[in-house]
Structure 1
Amino acid sequence: MAPSTAVVWFRRDLRVADQPTFLAAADAADRALALFVLDPALLKPSGAARANFLYGCLRELDDALGGKLLVVKGDPADVVPRVARAVGAQTVHVAADYGPYGRERDENVEKALSDDGVELVRTGSPYAVAPGRVEKGGGGPFKVFTPFSRAWADHGWRAPAGTDASTCTWMDPSDKDGGPRAVKVPDDEPVEAELPQPGESAGLARWRDFLDEGVLDYESERDLPAKKGTSGMSPYLKYGCVHPRTLLADLAQHRGDSVKAYRTEIAWREFYADVLHRRPDSARENYDKGFDHLPLRTGKAADADFERWCEGRTGYPIVDAGMRQLRGEAWMHNRVRMIVASFLVKDLHIPWWRGARHFMQLLVDGDLASNQHGWQWTAGSGTDASPYFRIFNPITQGERFDPDGDYVRRWVPELADVEGKAVHQPWKLKGGIPEGYPAPMVDHKAERQDALARYDQVKAARS
């Protein structure tokens, strides 16, 4: 009798540890085929940094599975049923996707599979608590973070699943009878950024280093971009090289304000996933529709200012350092993300979605829910938003969070010889602005007043 076969379709879960889908597949069949689909609909907007990180993760996953990862390319609604048919699978196992595209894709795949009598089995998700599960006592979604985070913590999460590469008996992809052609994982695309080491092993090693050396200082150092005060786990969470459930289980072995602060950051990630799940339109549009009345700049002058912001040539050192870090590392410190976002929206009066799109094109950790709603938080148009009248002053933000100027000097070499916090106001130097560095492109004080006047039109439309 031929062995029964299941397909394990990897997406945002590129690991072998803590894999509930492995347990479901092993329970359903004698052997499993490991599958990844290079989906043009996802690869096209990814950007080179994120694509390269994905390719590295796939190579490492293939090694962990003994070279038995089948990689195919195409529309999943076409190629996944063809793979299942080729191996005679009765089930295809996935971690549920709650993003706008992922849900639609999976519904199409599920329908195509059902035509062949094959079941799409969803087990787990990329989150500790799946979007849609945390609700108010009387039902319905939370619209602000703090009560969500309390309910999320009260809901709790499962312990990590005890799996490894041996949990399933993996079939050799070359044994499949027909189906879509296997493709080689693409070579890395040209990118100027220095990227983190991809894959599960690198992610777990970085996490262990953070637990050993960084977690206890997280609360005091996480807002200081010149320090290595953050965990660096965001790219690994993006592709599921490490599951947040694993992080939460390890954090439970520690105590203190820093541990609570880090757990809260995980809750923010899960909150934004929940918001996007319930309001998929918020990926491209204002969550708060009142902000549709906010007058914003468009046209050639706005485009030119946007390009200066992208290039890190605004004349405000902390902003320019952040935008250059984005190009140099395909990543930006979270505090600085808020500063540069506030500058684009509230000093230059350019729509938040232009900045969000630029971030998604360059970030190695670009996550749709976290990125779009982080931008909306700063723009004031999102759920649990920073009030619109809270406008980040790029000078005082720089002096407070980069007090010695080390972060700016690292990323803005034109200012490398300016000592201390004077680097944040180079126009006040006795010798003038150092050669090659631009003067401030706008007067922050004046633009702050302009931003508040524009916001009055939002308030007027509501009254």
Structure 2
Amino acid sequence: MDRTLCLFRDDLRVTDNPALTAGLERLGSGGDVVALYVLEDSTPGLRPLGGAARWWLHGALEDLRRSLEQLGIPLLLRRGDSRRIVAETAEAARASRVHLTRRYGVAGQDVDSELMATLRRRGVAVEEWPGHLLHEPEDVATVSGEHYKVFTPFWRALRSRAVQEPLPAPRGGQGLQSVRHSLNGLGVSSGDLSRWELRPSSPDWAAGLREIWEPTERAALRHLEDFVDGGIERYASERDLPAAPATSGLSPFLRFGQISVRQVWHSGVRAGGTDREDFLSELAWREFHWHLLHHHPRMAEQNMRPTFDAYPWQSRRDAPELFRAWAQGRTGFPLVDAGQRELWRTGHMHNRVRMVSASLLVKNFGIDWREGEAWFWDTLVDADAASNPGNWQWVAGCGVDAAPYFRIFNPERQRQRFDPEGRYVARWVPELGSTEYPAPVVELQESRQEALAHYQSLG
């Protein structure tokens, strides 16, 4: 029996999944496919998922299992160090090859290099497939062969390159040999998803997430269709308005690979209109951050501009209290507080509000951007290893193509400009204007001048 073990990670979909499609292509010659997902919360070097992402993962794995069952493919669930578990599972399932999607960042690549070497030593063939990006990092380079450090030329280079069309959804049946196996028949044990405790119970803080999110591949396609059919026409003019439904809502689906960026890209291209370029450029920002992570693998830990290593973070004595007020949405700045409350309730925050909120924390409060990045990592359903630290470094000014240090968002002016009718703030801060709402925790002009002095001292 020619059996392929398909390893899923952040590619929890069946459509446009090259690793899965390649395995299914062997069915006609008498082979079969078994799927495996390993919860890598104890693999050294890999960052454990945050709470909101764990909630999403539970639903995504339930959906993936159903989708694979329709193709006759069982999904095995294991937990632990993937370097050991993948090899053990391949041997127990008598798999002759393992397919996996390439991932980025030094920790993930080191783990994959080790597990692939182990498999090959044991006589198991390994095929690593692209599937997470529009183009691989080494394929988009400057004339001198270096990676891009500034977004605008990167965007021009990316836009000039053809993007491969997405693969169609696989279809079961059609006379192919049935590949449905009972898990017992495989001789391999599978974990119980409910025992992984990915969903909160005491307390159950996920009610708001359940109200607005359906973490399935079907929902991802529906979001894309609805956006292309209507929302993209207003994208350029309304995307910065947090009260307007002008964004795609696709970020968590992209983060877990329940829809491929190629699917989204080509749908945007076919939509036409002038607003599509603004939308495609946002996909390019995602790509840019992943390419940066490939070349700066410690992006979540280290300033990409080393001069910022000397910045005096946490110089204020009240920094812990300020961080707590920020996280709880009690800063006295309504737009920021609305964003933090939206985040806590839904696992999401509008992108414009993210920038304003991050700027207040880093520049007005003087708190290390890594603390804000860690908070977003734990509370966002869409926080990934590239865009989350990349965006925080952009706001802080320490990224390779960051906002200039003197660009400090004024949260009150931002509220007046992007929520002029107050609809967004009213939804999340209903007590605004009453004695229950706190006064601002810092004086904006004074804290701005302090930040500018610190930045200028870096030279």
Report the TM-score, using the length of structure 2 for normalisation: 0.92
Q: Shift in Å at residue 132 of structure 1? A: 2.8
Tell me what 2:193 maps to.
184
Compared CA separation, residues 79 and 458, structure 1 to 2 (3 A): same
Compared CA separation, residues 324 and 59, structure 1 to 2 (3 A): same
- Partner of residue 97 from structure 1, selected from 97, 103, 114: 103
Q: Shift in Å at residue 413 of structure 1? A: 1.5
Q: Shift in Å at residue 303 of structure 1? A: 1.0
Tell me what 2:74 maps to.
68
Q: Shift in Å at residue 184 of structure 1? A: 3.1
Q: Shift in Å at residue 90 of structure 1? A: 1.7
Establish whether residue 265 from structure 1 lines up as the match of residue 268 from structure 2: no
Distance between the aligned counterparts of 1:122 and 1:15, measured in 2? 17
Establish whether residue 380 from structure 1 lines up as the match of residue 383 from structure 2: no
Contact map agreement 1:87 1:176 (CA 8 A) in 2: no
Distance between the aligned counterparts of 2:239 and 2:250, measured in 1? 13
Contact map agreement 1:378 1:385 (CA 8 A) in 2: yes
- Partner of residue 405 from structure 1, selected from 422, 432, 436: 422
Contact map agreement 2:331 2:337 (CA 8 A) in 1: yes
Distance between the aligned counterparts of 1:308 and 1:64, measured in 2? 43
- Partner of residue 7 from structure 2, selected from 9, 32, 37: 9
Q: Shift in Å at residue 191 of structure 1? A: 2.4
Establish whether residue 216 from structure 1 lines up as the match of residue 233 from structure 2: yes
Contact map agreement 1:73 1:183 (CA 8 A) in 2: no
- Partner of residue 115 from structure 1, selected from 99, 121, 140: 121
**CA-to-aligned-CA distance 1:352-399 (integer Å, 9 cap, x gap):** 000000000000111121010101101000021110101101110110
The amino acid that maps onto 1:438 is P
Distance between the aligned counterparts of 2:170 and 2:129, measured in 1? 16
Establish whether residue 364 from structure 1 lines up as the match of residue 381 from structure 2: yes
Contact map agreement 1:7 1:35 (CA 8 A) in 2: yes
Compared CA separation, residues 177 and 241, structure 1 to 2 (3 A): closer
Tell me what 1:349 maps to.
366
Tell me what 2:269 maps to.
252
The amino acid that maps onto 1:288 is R
Contact map agreement 2:316 2:366 (CA 8 A) in 1: no
Establish whether residue 132 from structure 1 lines up as the match of residue 138 from structure 2: yes
Contact map agreement 1:330 1:363 (CA 8 A) in 2: yes
Query: Which runs of structure 2 are paired with 1:259-338 in the superposition (5 Å)?
Result: 259-297=276-314, 301-338=318-355
- Partner of residue 22 from structure 1, selected from 20, 23, 29: 20
Establish whether residue 58 from structure 1 lines up as the match of residue 61 from structure 2: yes
Q: Shift in Å at residue 298 of structure 1? A: 5.1
Contact map agreement 1:49 1:191 (CA 8 A) in 2: no
The amino acid that maps onto 2:32 is R
Distance between the aligned counterparts of 1:44 and 1:193, measured in 2? 25
Tell me what 2:90 maps to.
84
Contact map agreement 1:297 1:350 (CA 8 A) in 2: yes
Tell me what 1:143 maps to.
149
Tell me what 1:447 maps to.
447
Q: Shift in Å at residue 27 of structure 1? A: 4.2
Q: Shift in Å at residue 70 of structure 1? A: 1.3
Tell me what 1:438 maps to.
438
The secondary structure found in structure 2 opposite 1:114 is helix
Gaps of 5+ in 2: none
The amino acid that maps onto 1:142 is Y
The secondary structure found in structure 2 opposite 1:261 is helix
The percentage of aligned residue pairs carrying the same residue is: 39
Further displaced range: 378-387 or 48-57? 48-57
Distance between the aligned counterparts of 1:302 and 1:91, measured in 2? 53
Tell me what 1:38 maps to.
39
Q: Shift in Å at residue 177 of structure 1? A: 4.8
The secondary structure found in structure 2 opposite 1:414 is coil
Q: Shift in Å at residue 178 of structure 1? A: 3.7
Establish whether residue 163 from structure 1 lines up as the match of residue 169 from structure 2: yes
Q: Shift in Å at residue 300 of structure 1? A: 5.6
The amino acid that maps onto 1:40 is D
Distance between the aligned counterparts of 1:75 and 1:244, measured in 2? 28
Tell me what 2:52 maps to.
49
Compared CA separation, residues 133 and 379, structure 1 to 2 (3 A): same
The amino acid that maps onto 1:243 is S
Distance between the aligned counterparts of 1:313 and 1:56, measured in 2? 31
Contact map agreement 1:16 1:165 (CA 8 A) in 2: no
Contact map agreement 1:315 1:438 (CA 8 A) in 2: yes
Tell me what 2:260 maps to.
243
Report the TM-score, using the length of structure 1 for normalisation: 0.91
Aligned length, in residue pairs: 440
The amino acid that maps onto 2:443 is D
The secondary structure found in structure 2 opposite 1:194 is helix
Distance between the aligned counterparts of 1:375 and 1:18, measured in 2? 30
The amino acid that maps onto 1:245 is R
Contact map agreement 2:41 2:49 (CA 8 A) in 1: no
Contact map agreement 1:85 1:179 (CA 8 A) in 2: no
Distance between the aligned counterparts of 2:395 and 2:448, measured in 1? 14
**CA-to-aligned-CA distance 1:173-205 (integer Å, 9 cap, x gap):** 525554454433545223245221011001111
Distance between the aligned counterparts of 1:69 and 1:179, measured in 2? 11
Compared CA separation, residues 303 and 14, structure 1 to 2 (3 A): same
Establish whether residue 391 from structure 1 lines up as the match of residue 392 from structure 2: no
The amino acid that maps onto 1:102 is G
Gaps of 5+ in 1: 416-432
Distance between the aligned counterparts of 2:238 and 2:246, measured in 1? 5
**CA-to-aligned-CA distance 1:27-72 (integer Å, 9 cap, x gap):** 4561110111122148973223211111111111111122721111
